[in-house]
Amino acid sequence: MFGYLIPYKNELKVRELNDWQAAYCGVCHAIARNNGQMPRFALQNDMAGLALMLIDLSGDTFISRKRACPTHLINRKQSLETNTALTYCGDVTTLLAHHKLNDMWQDEKKLYAPIGNLLILRGYRKAKKRNPLLSKKLKDILDELYIIEQDKEVSFDIPAALSGDLLWEIAQSSKDINEKDKLALSDMMKNLGIWIYLADAMEDMESDIKKGCFNPLVQNGTPSEKRISQAQEVMTFALSRAQLAYNLLKLEKSAPIMDNIIRYSLPSKQNLIHEKTREIHKIT
């Protein structure tokens, strides 16, 4: 579900790119500190953007220093110092990793999934203890999503809405943010959740058809031109709604990076996905 909310790095200034990478490393170090080493493998680039926004909106400071890690033992990387926002993003990463592994076992019976869950179990329990309500809501939404996806012909609108609910709850459970900012952030994340689900469905169509896996844009084993066309319209609408909600956020230091993502990177990514979908599946 994640992996899309990343900036177009060629359009970032050097210091902005450094801030982005420091946020990513900061979340990674927060995971190691609070949840153990294994959940670090589940970290996605998206969490850097969320972390930057949460730090900005909470009024916390951007403090970074060079730190070593297992992948950068010699050439240490700039990393934001662990704070409430980074700890929260690390917990979200760990909780989602647990549920993702469960999903992989239920859907595809991947043998490494239960092994992976066992390896992150201690960290998952710690993250769950710090965020009991969020953990329950994520489980409820993902359980409902799993049940719905058992109907191979279900339309895309229901699972996409649940994906939006998932990111809504993540924003709603964030710490140290005033209610006005939290509402705007939640609305933005909800619409991005819908967008991400449909983007992922479009990109996975070909492999899902080959594997016989569920895909809401496929009917009777073939791409549905009607559903794809409708999904493209919904993606455009959801992205525009996300941009409107984003405009309400009073961001400062993270603004150039998030502007890049919301106003440039995501629309460009959407165009590429739509063009590729039309080309591969011969959609008019």
How confident is the model over 194-232, as pLDDT tens digits? 999 999 999 999 988 888 888 999 988 899 999 999 999
Residue 221 region by backbone torsions, left for phi larger than 0, else alpha for psi between -120 and 50, else beta: left
Structural domain total, the chain: 1
Per residue in 126-184, pLDDT (tens digit) is: 999 999 999 999 999 999 998 998 887 788 999 999 999 999 999 999 989 999 999 99
Say yes or no to pLDDT of 280 above 70: yes
Instruction: Find tokens 């992948």 and name the residue.
Output: 71
Tokens standing for residue 36? 């153990």
Tell me, yes or no, whether 29 lies in a domain: yes
Tell me, yes or no, whether 3 lies in a domain: no
Terminal alpha carbon distance of the chain? 27
For residue 67, what are the β-bridge partners?
A: 77
Name the DSSP letter for residue 272. H
Q: Is 151 or 256 the better-scoring residue by pLDDT?
A: 256
Q: Is 281 or 152 the better-scoring residue by pLDDT?
A: 152
pLDDT in the model for residue 107: 67
Say yes or no to pLDDT of 281 above 70: no
Tell me, yes or no, whether 1 lies in a domain: no
How far apart CA 147 and CA 96 sit, in angstroms, is 18
Tell me, yes or no, whether 195 lies in a domain: yes
The whole domain housing 89 covers 9-281
Average pLDDT over residues 51-66: 92
Q: Which of 71-75, 77-81, 173-177, 221-225 has the lowest mean pLDDT?
A: 71-75
Residue 235: closest CA among 206, 197, 265? 197
Residue 219 belongs to domain with CATH number: 1.10.600.10
How far apart CA 163 and CA 191 sit, in angstroms, is 9
Residue 10 region by backbone torsions, left for phi larger than 0, else alpha for psi between -120 and 50, else beta: alpha
Say yes or no to pLDDT of 10 above 90: no
Three-state DSSP class for 222?
Answer: strand
Q: Is the pTM of this model over 0.75?
A: yes
How far apart CA 182 and CA 166 sit, in angstroms, is 15
Tell me, yes or no, whether 2 lies in a domain: no
